[in-house]
Amino acid sequence: MFYTELTFHISPYVEDIADAIIAELGDLGYDSFSYSDDGFKAYIPSKNFNEEQVKSLEILSFFQSLYTITWEKAEIENQDWNKIWEENFTPILVQDRILVRAGFHPTIKNIEHEKVVDLAGEVQYMPGQVVSKTLAQNEAVSVTLFAFAKGEEISTHDSEGDAMVTVLEGTGEFTVGGIKHQVKAGEVLVMPAKIPHAVYAVEAFKMLLTVVFPQ
């Protein structure tokens, strides 16, 4: 389905004027609006667009005697407008003290925000298992917590991105390119992209795995 986009310009710009025109357009079936610095955009399914209805709006005739109001149209393909808005939402900082941000699909998930957290406590050991908890996953980065029971392992594999392991508790054995590394709590090991590596729990241990993928 296609939408018709009307872009209105008002000079000098007065938001109350824009609101009044938007109200009239809403009565004509326009279902989405977005403000700009000098006006706004209005959207309606193309099948419902009637150019003569817009041209004959009395409110436009009235305000055009006081303001310069112009508009142009364009046809655009329907999209997930909410997703686009979310992707382009920018947090607002007020007087360097208050940050206004959206709560939808946080980049980091499965962990409380704006609170000091003990990472090792966020994932628990299970006998005979490797337990994982994903904190972030997208095309750029992956962040995962792991808890290995003693004797458990992840067999040899490789990754498209550089992988950094931070051991949070216990000791893990990492074989990278055929070389074994013992990594203890508080230590970090970087495993380069596309180099085969494996993980073995010489004792129960927990780790944070961060993988950064090439863009």
Beta strand 92-94 pairing with 98-100? antiparallel
Per-residue pLDDT, averaged over 72-76, amounts to 92
- Cα separation, 68 vs 29, in Å, equals 24
Helix ranges (H only) for 28-88 are: 51-55, 58-63, 81-88
Domain ranges of the chain: 2-84, 119-212
Class of domain 119-212 as given by CATH: mainly beta
Phi, psi of 111 (to 5 degrees): -155, 145
- H or E, element range at 202: none
Greater confidence, 144 or 96? Answer: 144
pLDDT tens for each residue of 7-40: 999 999 999 999 999 999 999 999 888 888 899 9
CATH 3.90.79.10 fits 2-84, yes or no: no
| Predicted pLDDT of residue 112 | 83
Read off the pLDDT of residues 95-111 as tens digits, 9 standing for 90 and up: 666 555 666 556 788 88
- Looking at the whole model, is its pTM more than 0.75? no
Paired with 75 in beta bridges are: 4
The two structure tokens encoding residue 160: 């498209």
Q: Is the pLDDT of residue 50 over 90?
A: yes
Task: Write down the pLDDT at residue 5.
Answer: 93
Mean pLDDT of the region 61-75: 91
